[in-house]
Structure 1
Amino acid sequence: MNKLSQMNVIQVKDLGKTVATLDGDLTILSGISFNVKPGESIAIVGASGSGKSTLLALLAGLDSVTQGEIFLDGEPLHNLDEEQRAAVRAKSVGFIFQSFMLVQSLTALENVMLPAELAGESNAEEKAKELLDKVGLSHRLHHFPSQLSGGEQQRVAIARAYIGEPKVLFADEPSANLDSKNGRIIEELLFDLNKVAGTTLVLVTHDEHLAEKCQRTIHIDAGQLIDDRIGVQADVG
């Protein structure tokens, strides 16, 4: 672990991602460099196909880099295999997907408990109930995903992401599949929990309103970082 990675919860240096296709190698990302401080909220924006979701997956250790370096909570993801990256994710990462990704055969309570149970925590049920109460679902503990609205399912997903007390929460278009009312509820929850828990928030979004709520906006275009801007929500005090 180097000194810079100790000061930043995420450190990215000259990141690149290339994949093989029938027409030859396709470069999705190249020359990406930036750092993220603990507790920051960052929006990654860009047109469809710009590489922003690929960047999010790399930052979270869900995919491997082709070149460059990523340190996540001091761990060199670029040097780790999938099993080692999974261990880092379990320790440091929460992830919220656009499509919720709940286990359909488990209740809301069981979905939230699952990561804590896999980690061997003895108080998984107590923590899950507390988090579901925080997201306003204490009355839906024993409902299955099919019995919940889209907004409720995403709130369950948020509670599940936070049960491991992650250093970094990654969210891929967290409100894209929701109506405007539920989308705003989800956004408020994300930022409230970000502030209360001090969790670093990194999200991909097409929503300019949501991006403006973040302290920083990183703009990706054609696989390259073209802008890294401090937003109006940044705490300058």
Structure 2
Amino acid sequence: MSALSQLNIIQVKELTKSVNTLDGDLTILSDISFNVKPGESVAIVGASGSGKSTLLSLLAGLDRASAGSIVLDGEALEELDEEGRAALRAQKVGFVFQSFMLVQSLSALENVMLPAELANQKDAKEQALALLEQVGLSHRVEHYPSQLSGGEQQRVAIARAFVGTPKILFADEPSANLDSKNGKLIEQLLFDLNQQQGTTLVLVTHDESLAQRCDRILHIEGGELTQLRDPENNNDESLEETAQEQANVG
């Protein structure tokens, strides 16, 4: 393992994603490189169609890159088959989807327990109950998704994402389908759990105010990474410096 991968829980180098269309190859992402330190919160922002959700799917191992590399906590995704990537997600990754993605035939408690049970964790129920209480749903554990409001469903989804204490949490527009009040609640929960558990948070958003709450902002435009920004200091990080750092270390 290189020194760089020890310092960064996520390492992305020269990442490219292309798809075949009737009009020829379409490049969705081109030559993306950046690193994320353990415990950081990072926002990926960009216009609709810029490639930010595709980037998130690649980072989570839900899709495969056409070229380049992604290293998650020391493991290179391009070296893993589908089973290996699924195992990595089960061990180290949580994911919050815009559309909740709850299993309709399972109760809130069962939905949250599911990842822990699949990972053969013996305390799945205890973890799930504690997380549902933390997100304010201890009184709704036996309710099914159809009996929950949108905000409640997304809170269940967040509790499910944090079960097993993942090292990395990916969130794709986590508050986009919610009203303003519930959206702010969901956003606060993500940052609270990120800080309490030390989980690295990477989220896709079109909401500039939400992005400003993160430690860093990655701007994607036309499939290219155009800017790395620290909101607190309002500093732009040179993409050339990032590339040079990766080249120097390995």
Report the TM-score, using the length of structure 2 for normalisation: 0.92
Q: Residues 214 and 233 of structure 1 are in contact (CA less than 8 Å); yes or no, is this contact kept in structure 2?
A: no
Q: Which moved more, 1:57-66 or 1:75-84?
A: 75-84
Q: CA deviation at 1:233?
A: 8.3
CA distance in 2, matches of 1:233, 1:90: 35
Question: What RMSD, in angstroms, separates the aligned Cα atoms of the two structures?
Answer: 1.0
What are the equivalent positions in structure 2 for 1:1-237 lying under 5 Å apart? 1-232=1-232
Given that residues 212 and 233 in structure 1 are in contact (C-alpha distance below 8 angstroms), is that contact kept between their aligned partners in structure 2?
A: no
Give the aligned residue type for 1:191: F
Structure 1's consecutive aligned runs of 4 or more residues displaced over 4 angstroms after TM superposition are: none
* CA distance in 2: counterparts of 1:233 and 1:174, whole angstroms: 26
Quick one: structure 1 residues 189 and 121, their matched pair in 2 at CA, closer, same or farther if it must change by over 3 Å?
same
TM-superposed CA distance for 1:79, in Å, is 2.0
1:16-40, Cα deviation, whole Å (9 max, x unpaired): 0011111111100011000000000
Task: Give the gaps of 5 or more residues in structure 1.
Answer: none
- Give me the whole-angstrom Cα distance separating, in 2, the residues matched to 1:114 and 1:92: 15
- Tell me which amino acid in the other structure corresponds to 1:203: L
Please state how far the C-alpha of 1:87 moved relative to its aligned partner.
Answer: 1.1
Deviation at 1:6, TM superposition (A): 1.2
Judge which range, 161-170 or 225-234, deviates more. 225-234
* 2:16–2:30 Cα contact (<8 Å) kept: yes
CA deviation profile, 1:61-115 (whole Å, cap 9, x unmatched): 1111111110001100122221111111111100000000000000000000011
Asked if the contact 2:108/2:145 (under 8 Å) is kept, the reply is yes
Distance 1:70 1:54 in 2: 14
By how many angstroms is 1:181 displaced? 0.0
Kindly tell me: are residues 177 and 233 of structure 1, through their superposed partners in 2, closer, same or farther at Cα, counting changes over 3 Å?
A: farther
Structure 1's 44 and 125: CA in aligned 2 closer, same or farther, altered over 3 A? same
Provide Cα deviations, 1:163-190, integer angstroms capped at 9, x if missing partner. 0211100000000000000000000000
Unmatched 5+ stretches in structure 2? 235-250
Identity of aligned residues (%): 72
Question: In the aligned structure 2, how far is the partner of 1:2 from the partner of 1:232?
Answer: 30
